[in-house]
Amino acid sequence: MSGLARDLEELEREECLALLRSFTVGRVAIATSNGALLVVPVNYVVDGDVVVFRSDPGEKLARLHERPASFQIDFIDPYHRSGWSVLVQGIAYRAGASEVAHLDMVSWAGGDKPHWVRLVPEQITGRRLTPPDIPLDVRGYL
């Protein structure tokens, strides 16, 4: 199966948004003070085209304030060696109460998570790796 051709398809923005809206956990990535990347899972909601999640105080929240950030979700089928990925790149900032009052989201990690973060996309991209077409064996057995 490894020698068969596969298709890597670019996803349209609307399909990326539909995938984002259909899932609830992703990974946010930000640069730390020493330049290393911090990548952490968060549960989230999508508000229009903005990714929104809750956070405790700490390095993640401090570094997200109006800085470039990335957010990624994916689905992988290891058996078929196929899947998809959506990447949101933009600017994240601590949201005010009026910006999130209409949202209902509880953090899966527990705790109060008093701070809301909005990641406003500058770019939303996605790709899908599809399994190859495997020729049908006309002999009729497996």
> What does DSSP assign to residue 57?
S
Pairing of strands 50-55, 7-11: unpaired
Torsion 60-63-66-70 (CA) sign:
negative
pLDDT tens, per residue, the chain with 142 residues: 445 556 889 999 999 999 999 999 999 999 888 888 899 999 999 999 999 999 888 888 888 876 789 999 999 998 888 899 999 999 999 998 888 889 887 777 777 788 899 999 999 999 999 876 665 556 665 5
| Chain mean position to CA 110 | 21
For the chain, counts of helices (H) and of strands (E): 3, 7
Q: Does an H or E element contain 41, and which?
A: strand 37-47
Q: Which residues of 54-70 are buried (b: 16+ CB within 10 A; e: fewer)?
A: bbeeeebbeebeeeebb
Q: Rounded to an integer, what distance in angstroms lies between the CA atom of residue 2 and that of residue 21?
A: 32
Cα–Cα nearest to 116, from 72, 63, 57? 57
Q: Where do the domains of the chain lie, and which CATH numbers do they carry?
A: 8-130 (2.30.110.10)
What pLDDT, on the 0 to 100 scale, is given for residue 90?
A: 96
